[in-house]
Amino acid sequence: MEKQKVVADASIVVKWFLKEAFSENARFLRDSFLKGRLTISVPSLLYYEALNALRYSGVYKEIELALVGRALTKYGFDTWEPKGKLIEKMAILSLKRDISIYDAAYLVLAQQLGATFYTADQELVKKFPENTQHISAFKLEK
């Protein structure tokens, strides 16, 4: 059986390190990945976005934030760089659907891989219901 393919955005990864609404669901997604039940693919910008959000959360001091950054690189996500057709599709999707280039990067990657895109951004779920799920839809293990 093929593993479930997932693209997770920074709003999900940040919830691994902060106590927020749906953090439990996000951590279950992470744990499912660590147990080999699914794959997580991300555009390379995830590391910058997640670390920036954690920086401005006010929760982490210098050393702690640096350690979180190091931890992020050790998860072993399938990381994609923006190039070729992917970057062209990002630009087109951003303009056509009035979303940021950042959001378009996750959506185009999910489309390219035939993956489900998980986010905490309800607006993206509304605009792209065909392959986007709110993290609340990722069910907790019983």
Domains of the chain: 4-80+116-137 (3.40.50.1010)
Measured distance CA(31)–CA(38) in Å, rounded: 9
Instruction: Please provide the distance, in angstroms rounded to a whole number, between the alpha carbons at the two ends of the chain.
Output: 22
Q: Do 26 and 133 form a contact (C-beta atoms < 8 A)?
A: no
Measured distance CA(37)–CA(71) in Å, rounded: 20
Nearest CA-CA partner of 7 in 82, 77, 88, 91: 77
Average pLDDT value for the chain:
95
Report pLDDT for 82. Answer: 87
Measured distance CA(133)–CA(97) in Å, rounded: 17
Measured distance CA(87)–CA(26) in Å, rounded: 27
Q: Do 128 and 117 form a contact (C-beta atoms < 8 A)?
A: yes
∠ CA(26), CA(103), CA(76), 5° rounding? 50
Check pLDDT > 50 for residue 142: no
22-77 pLDDT, tens digit per residue, is 999 999 999 999 999 999 999 999 999 999 999 999 999 999 999 999 999 999 99
Return the number of other C-beta atoms located less than 10 Å from residue 71's C-beta.
11
